[in-house]
Amino acid sequence: MLRDFSGPEGVVLDEVAPPGAGDAGLRTVRVEVHAAGVSFADLLITRGEYQLRPALPFVPGLEVAGVVRHAPSGTGFAAGDRVAAFMFGGAFAEEAVADPATMVRLPDGLPFPEAAGFVVNYQTAWFALVRRARLQRGETVLVQGAGGGLGVAVVQVARALGARVVGVAGTPAKAAMAEAAGADVVVSTGDGWADAVRAATGAVDVVIDPVGGDRFDDSLRLLRPEGRLVVVGFAGGEIPRVKVNRLLLRNVAVLGAAWREFLSAEPGFVAEAGAGLEALVADGRLTPLVGATYPLEDGVRALQDLAERRAVGKLVLSVR
């Protein structure tokens, strides 16, 4: 439970009433939580820095994997379904409620911890690569923050779609995670990272950037003609600027990819992306990875590890 906007320290373990389902005509689905994803957005929420500032007290957690316990008729889900879902808060708990429009059934055999990021991280990766960048088989993709939760998902989805992948990672542990995810080449951040990419693979077709900051300009320079740089976030803290004459003269594009915001325009995209990802899992081309798991009572430590950049890969709270 988030008591104040002081960051992870504002989160405490507490007993609260179970959430309802189908109340006030909202037709929400109640889910028994088995695992919950921990994301950078969760960290921002605890600091009061997310674009939506919830009323307090607030149960954090945006992504959940578990079993449906109650679903109103007509939602397309039934008790006993194994699902993953996105919601604005409530996942760091034993039960949560979700909008059926932001839920997907889990592929057979996909464990709950691995499924905890299957909606947000992997759908964001699909959205950035397939919908926004229009990735083609055989193209080269550069992934910033390749050892983080979203970066790992992007590496995996890009590889599953037939791309060559170059990852940029900040520590040896994160580099190892990017390699485990399937990156063909991994370079370390710091002075000279762009030169290392250029030496390894030359120019790239697509850059997926959830980091921003001072990496943006070099990422833009690495694009070949008709290349696309997709902005996914600003984990580096600084929002970069671009002079559009550079886009004109080099025939490159900068695109935004805000998955959650896109759902308000196309709510059916969750099902569309879910079907595409499920096909990759069924074909054996995609197996979601988890970096570390924590028991629910250690949720504060998971958020602190994220805040202090100790996190490698996707962090998950194990609830059951």
Would you say residue 98 lies in a domain? yes
CA-nearest of 174, 134, 185 to 150 is 174
Please tell me whether residues 106 and 125 are part of one structural domain. no
- Which range of residues forms the domain containing residue 188? 121-260
Q: What is the CATH number of the domain that holds 39?
A: 3.90.180.10
The residues, ordered by sequence, that sit 6+ positions from 279 with a Cβ below 8 Å of its Cβ are none
The pLDDT of residue 26: 60
- Tell me: do 184 and 250 sit in the same domain: yes
Residue 131, domain member (yes or no): yes
Residue 282 counted as domain residue: no
Q: At 209, which CATH number?
A: 3.40.50.720
Inter-axis angle of helices 149-160 and 269-282, to 10 degrees? 70
Contact status, residue 207 vs residue 141, Cβ threshold 8 Å: yes
Residue range 133-143, pLDDT digits in tens: 999 999 999 99
Specify if 51 maps to a domain.
yes
User: Are 245 and 295 found together in one domain?
Assistant: no
- The residues with which 169 forms a beta bridge, in sequence order, are 188
pLDDT of residue 153: 96
Both 51 and 23 in one domain: the answer is yes
The confidence score (pLDDT) of residue 20 equals 65
Q: Same domain for 203 and 97?
A: no
- Which helix (H) or strand (E) covers residue 61, if one does? none
> Which residues of the chain fall short of a pLDDT of 70?
20-26
Residue 113 and residue 126 in one domain: no
Query: 228 and 158 in one domain?
Result: yes
pLDDT of residue 251: 97
- Count of domains for the chain: 2
Entry pTM: 0.91
Q: Are 230 and 137 within one domain?
A: yes
Does 276 map to a domain? no
In a shared domain, residues 43 and 109:
yes
What is the predicted pLDDT for the residue at 287?
93
Q: Does residue 41 fall inside a structural domain? A: yes
> What is the per-residue pLDDT across 182-213, written as a single tens digit (0 to 9) for each?
999 999 988 899 999 999 999 999 999 999 88
Q: Are residues 211 and 313 in the same domain?
A: no
73 and 168: one domain? no
Regarding whether 112 and 125 lie in a shared domain, the answer is no
Give me the torsion for CA of 81, 317, 60, 297, rounded to 10°: 120
Q: Are 194 and 222 in contact (CB under 8 A)?
A: yes
Identify whether 271 is part of a domain.
no
pLDDT value at residue 24: 43
Q: What ranges in the chain are assigned the alpha helix state H? A: 40-47, 112-115, 120-126, 149-160, 172-181, 193-201, 215-221, 244-250, 259-265, 269-282, 299-307
Residue 169's identity, in one-letter code, is A
Tell me what pLDDT residue 25 has.
45
CA angle 11, 210, 124 (to 5 degrees): 85
Burial of 104 (0-12, 13-18, 19+ CB in 10 A): buried
pLDDT tens-digit profile of 215-224?
Answer: 899 999 999 9
In a domain, 266, yes or no: no
